[in-house]
Amino acid sequence: MNENTTVSRCDATSCRFNNDQKCTAGQIEVSMSAGQAQCLTFSPSKDAQGEQPRTQQ
């Protein structure tokens, strides 16, 4: 069964796909670990890796 759902809120503020608590990834993969959902698409943002975020010009 293939279901389409929408991520209504993302609390992973250090993820590069998080834009104002909205997920901007084209699609995500989620698994269960110890009874909790875990986003396998998580990718740290550049500023979360200790680098300065780029400003848009």
Would 56 be classed as within a structural domain? no
Would 51 be classed as within a structural domain? no
Q: How much is the average pLDDT of 28-50?
A: 87
Contacts with 25 (C-beta within 8 Å, 6 or more apart), sequence order: 17, 41
Q: Structural domain tally of the chain?
A: 1
Q: What is the DSSP string of 12-49?
A: -TTBTTEETTEE--S---EEEETTEEEETT--B-GGGG
Would 28 be classed as within a structural domain? yes
Q: How much is the average pLDDT of 23-47?
A: 91
Angle at 21 between CA 19 and CA 37, to 5 degrees: 120
The answer to pTM > 0.85 is no
Q: What range defines the domain where residue 37 resides? A: 1-45
pLDDT digit string (tens) for 18-33?
999 999 999 999 999 9
Which tokens go with 54? 């780029």
Would 1 be classed as within a structural domain? yes
Q: What's the pLDDT at 51?
A: 53
